[in-house]
Amino acid sequence: MSIEQQWVSQTSELFSLPEAYLQLKQLIDDTDSSMQQFAAIISSDPALTINILHMVNSAYFNLGHKIGTVSLALNMLGTQQVHDLALATSVTSAFDKIPEEVTNMTQFWHKSIHCGVLAQLLARRCNVLDSERLFIAGLLHDIGHLIMYQNIPEKMNLALQLSKQKGIPLHLVEQKLVNSDYAKVGSELMQVWGLPKSIIITTQCQLMPTKTTEYKLQSAIIHIAATIANASANPGQENLQFTEADLFIDPVIWQITGLSPESIEPIYKEVDEQLALAISILFPRARASVSQ
């Protein structure tokens, strides 16, 4: 058993997805499933129903009129997008048990949402058809760290200190200290959860997107989005203004996407707007951190 499998298995009972989402996942994989089946499963879970309706009626979707039923939400957004919204709320609920002394969950989700919003907007720039799926991949790109914080808190604290002191990327410090990194751990958890292949691979390959043959563009987008989100979380970096030197991104990764720091500058204002909206509907407890 690999170290990643060991850590995930040790926390599998603590971090599990709700039954309603697992049933939705089965339906999304079944080509013969119907919207009526989706609606029935969502409606059987009051908390999930409230979250879905709250989201679709928010300014983030801006549908223009009130959506009062799950069936209508499915008709407006489609089963795939409703499934992804259910996944987002299910994952955040799964990690509610992590105490603040282990890691600051408000800051964690703020940076994760930031990455998700960036990834979706970058995907649109790259003409990726399922750009909404990139929001979910960005949102979940760092969940491996939550498993690591839970299993090896002392080593993770040391890794964070060394990364800051020496200016070395955190994943490189993790690889030296524990022979693993958050991308490997996160993708292992996603495999156990049975999440979509595209999300598993983009998580696994986000640190080295040039090394994959599948979902290379998506992995490169997550790499860029995560790098920007991490950089903007640093003290003193209040505005999203970066040069190529600031971001330390391999030029090959920019080539894969066809993007550059200069070409994505116009999206920064939109990022701020979408970030505030996404936080307010997905993670109300993180809302206060937007203004920090």
**More reliable by pLDDT, 243 or 17:** 17
- Per the structure, how many domains does the chain have? 1
The answer to whether residue 22 sits within a structural domain is no
% of the chain exceeding 70 in pLDDT: 91
CA quadruple 182, 187, 190, 196: dihedral sign: positive
Question: Is the residue at 45 inside a domain?
Answer: no
What is the token pair recorded at 155?
């080593």
Flag whether 118 is in a domain. yes
- The answer to whether residue 79 sits within a structural domain is no
Here the tokens at position 19 are 């039954």
Higher pLDDT, residue 239 or 42 = 42
Residue 234 per-residue DSSP state: S
For residue 246, tell me if it sits in a domain: yes
Give the pLDDT confidence of 266-276 residue by residue, as tens digits: 888 888 888 88
Does residue 236 lie within any of the structural domains? Answer: yes
Domain that holds residue 203: 3-15+100-291
Q: Which tens digit of pLDDT belongs to each residue from 130-164? A: 888 899 999 999 999 999 999 999 999 999 999 98
Mean pLDDT of 254-263: 92
Burial class (CB in 10 A: 0-12, 13-18, 19+), 111: buried
In a domain, 149, yes or no: yes
Residue 64 CB contacts under 8 Å (≥ 6 apart), including other chains: none
89-116 confidence digits (pLDDT tens): 888 888 877 877 778 888 899 899 999 9
Region class of 280: left (phi > 0), else alpha (psi between -120 and 50), else beta? alpha
**CB-based contacts of 262, cutoff 8 Å, min separation 6:** none
Provide the CATH number for the domain around residue 194. 1.10.3210.10
Those residues with Cβ within 8 angstroms of residue 83's Cβ, 6 or more apart along the chain or in another chain: 24, 25, 28, 38
Q: What is the helix, strand, coil percentage profile of the chain, to 5? A: 70, 0, 30
Looking at residue 236, its pLDDT comes to 44
| Domain membership flag for residue 270 | yes
Percent with pLDDT over 90 in the chain: 46
The answer to whether residues 58 and 281 touch, using CB atoms and an 8 Å cutoff, is yes
- pLDDT score for 241: 54
Q: Please list, residue by residue across 122-152, b when 16 or more beta carbons sit within 10 angstroms of its beta carbon and e when fewer do.
A: bbebbebebbbbbbbbbbbbbbbbbbbbbbb
pLDDT band for position 281 (cuts 50, 70, 90): confident
